[in-house]
Structure 1
């Protein structure tokens, strides 16, 4: 049975089987797109543009270079956070989740989708919210947690219906039907597959029509309603063939083979199993190829054609070995992706720590500079320089002190208010109401003290000169 994964950007979609991951787009075209995006990225100056290009490039290479995709999209995510580009952060989280899902790392895919959900719940973008809820449901379905998947599907469906999000109406109906079918609830599955079929007909999309009819045919077959199962399978094959959707075509052809086997029409069962096998071989759909081959083994056993059954049984062994090898490679990819993510996050933590250390050193320098500057002002007040210079230095030293206080308080205010602008401005107004009068009083006090200090020094000099003059006169 098929699952529709909501596209992470407009115009791109993926149909996926539960076991074998297979994108419908052309890999060569994606490589060309990735090369073009990389060239644009090298000349990009604006940070927002860089984020957009990076997540788009990661999406383009995710099918054939998941490691590169993961590294690129993480860079996009960190940059988006630094420049507070929320849409870029959301897109990057979604692409990261999709890369992990493609390599079979479902826990990480779920983790990043949930991070995106948390972000989208604070925004007003209902399209993005519905999309991420659907994708969370899909990850649960891939983990065979169908009821948990349905919970998120229904949340997405509620948003799609409330806000009339047309692009997702077909896909949510199809996905809910698929989850019910996997739960062996054909009546509920039928209702949603039928709903998706009505939408597909309104859209005039042959691929969608064929996909929905395949789901309906599966339901009819489960209920032993052979005439309607036959009608839906045959009609679905025509639509899917015209749409070049080989993935679902293999599934529909194999479903029709199973139907004919139940009807004890072995020649037709073998014929359609052979068609499914041929298309699966052509496109490299290992799971479909294995299913079709096992079906042929069963059919030839039924007809007591031992030689053919043995031949296809040998193919079953080879395909199982190939799938096991692929699964082992996938396990290595999962371990590798976890380590790669850890290293990328560690590098970002180092960068943040280095930045924080730099800021702390700057604050320390300012904290040392202010008293030195203040002491210098006092020393200069004892020297015979213009009064306006002394006043100016006194005012500047106080400005440094009060601005330094504001700088120190700012992070604590942000933490207390959780970056709420209204609360921030209220707190800073209160701080200003305290600091500004204090600044004026201290300014007057400091200038008065500096002037008083200067007067005392001046008077002492005059007194000293007077004494010296008296001594000179006395000696004469």
Structure 2
């Protein structure tokens, strides 16, 4: 059996500055910190600084994180204290790849949950549960994650805070994703999207679009994933969120890379780099450089990937400074393996191994073991390759990943065949077919899921159209009622001119009749104005000023003329003083002369 390549992409850095808001760069944040007068403002800025410096200068990130905790503690404000714990948890979660960082994130999450519960702060309790769930999910404990998520959704649903609801539903969707229960994941992402679209706040929509894009990426439906990614891009542009746009450009670049549209992929990475230069956020470019390296590696352009990485030494400097030297060594080891410089590859893998054994997360260790095993296979050291794939298999079992287990057993099958150990080769071949069969079933389920999702989307579209039709019907009834009412008022106005009605009464009826008529005209024009202007306030106002400038004189002129005509004595004389007198007059003419 052919040896399966342990093709490993170089790990992304994960610059942990999570750009969910138009957050200023550090100099601006420090200036704001000096001017901050409230504990809440000071705490928020310290949280932004600690998040920014995570990975850039961890000691400085810890300093600002500790200062934020101190502000919360001294204020005795429970909300500030809880948010300080959650902010610290967040920065460690974002600094992925390190087991130590994950452990610290879990500790802070649990502290926040404990304090939120004891303080009876429901919204923050729900939020803290989502952080605890993230820790369980990252560790592969999806049952515990699901329990925490369900509690979060239950609490959030009983409240009125849409932000917490969206976060809770997205987190629950992420856990169902980790459990390969994709239909349930989709339904919860969709619930979050529905809430965000009704609320219309930027942050909620941005998070909902991200989760939907990631979900469709996991299905391999890159077109749908791109649809939501481009929705994000338009939203960020409309709200001038340039820092968020950096992440979105990278996401779109990755999607085009997965879809094998390499030139478009590169173009979006280049857009990200250019925008980072524009907003003077140089450190963010490091992530984009890594995405480009991954793009070249995934398309077999190994020499180009290595040359690009060497040309951008600032990436390696950043990783070393962040204390993630073992990831840098692994990257070099992998790339030198791909270009067949095995002596150099072995040197870097040996440097990387102690760090992965003591500091890396389980997922990171799996990838390292696979890469190292591939190096040994290319070198002809089959026993060592088997050893590291055995380690990888164990980690696959620990995290419950069928993909990892299928990859490990497939390579072990091939390695034992190369060694001539057909008994073990058969054993791992059987296991490999078992895991492969499970993955194929999941793939079929994924196809069925795609149909169910399409049906769900079509059902939602039908419901939306039905609601639009019902709304239009109600509006048409209301418009018809208005037309009837206006017609009735004008009939009364005309009748007032025929019967004996005081001039003041005619003037009052005329005033209201023309008010209703011209307001109705403006009402009909209003929807069209918003359609033409896309709701831009200055355009709406300008058109309405012009419209009113035309209609108001016409209104007064018509009202004056009509009322003058209806109250004119000539009208009364020409048509008879009133309808009754005219009828009486006609009867008198018809009587015979002898009856007079």
- Normalising by structure 1, what TM-score? 0.83
Q: Distance in 2 between matches of 1:393 and 1:38?
A: 58
Partner deviation per Cα, 1:147-193 (whole Å, 9 max, x = no partner):
43333222223223432447844432322211111122224323348
User: Which blocks of at least 5 consecutive residues in structure 2 are unaligned?
Assistant: 1-7, 22-89, 98-135, 589-596
Greater RCO (Cα-Cα under 8 Å, separation 6 or more)? 2
Q: 1:131 aligns with which of 247, 256, 263?
A: 247
* DSSP 3-state at the match of 1:224: coil
Aligned 8 A contact 2:149 2:168 in 1: no
* DSSP 3-state at the match of 2:507: helix
- The answer for the alignment partner of 2:165 in structure 1 is 53
Q: CA deviation at 1:313?
A: 2.2
User: Which blocks of at least 5 consecutive residues in structure 1 are unaligned?
Assistant: 17-21, 472-476
- The answer for the alignment partner of 2:533 in structure 1 is 417
Q: CA deviation at 1:255?
A: 1.5
| Number of equivalenced pairs | 457
Q: Distance in 1 between matches of 2:157 and 2:569?
A: 62
Q: CA deviation at 1:260?
A: 2.0
- The answer for the alignment partner of 1:474 in structure 2 is none
- The answer for the alignment partner of 1:269 in structure 2 is 385
Q: 1:200 aligns with which of 319, 322, 339?
A: 319
Partner deviation per Cα, 1:76-104 (whole Å, 9 max, x = no partner):
54565556544433332222212222333
Q: CA deviation at 1:144?
A: 4.0
Bigger mean CA deviation after superposition, 231-240 or 181-190: 231-240
Q: CA deviation at 1:438?
A: 0.9
Q: Distance in 2 between matches of 1:23 and 1:164?
A: 35
Q: Distance in 1 between matches of 2:560 and 2:402?
A: 85
Bigger mean CA deviation after superposition, 295-304 or 342-351: 295-304
Aligned 8 A contact 1:240 1:249 in 2: yes
- Normalising by structure 2, what TM-score? 0.68
- The answer for the alignment partner of 2:138 in structure 1 is 24
CA distance 1:160–1:117, shift in 2 (3 Å) = same
CA distance 1:391–1:117, shift in 2 (3 Å) = same
CA distance 1:311–1:77, shift in 2 (3 Å) = closer
2:434 is the alignment partner of 1:314: no
Q: CA deviation at 1:280?
A: 1.3
Q: Distance in 2 between matches of 1:295 and 1:73?
A: 36
Superposed counterparts of 1:216-255, under 5 Å: 216-255=332-371
User: What RMSD, in angstroms, separates the aligned Cα atoms of the two structures?
Assistant: 3.6
CA distance 1:184–1:388, shift in 2 (3 Å) = same
Aligned 8 A contact 1:293 1:316 in 2: yes
Q: 1:36 aligns with which of 152, 165, 170?
A: 152
Q: Distance in 2 between matches of 1:311 and 1:77?
A: 46
TM superposition outliers: structure 1 runs of 4+ over 6 Å: 5-8
Q: Distance in 2 between matches of 1:59 and 1:374?
A: 60
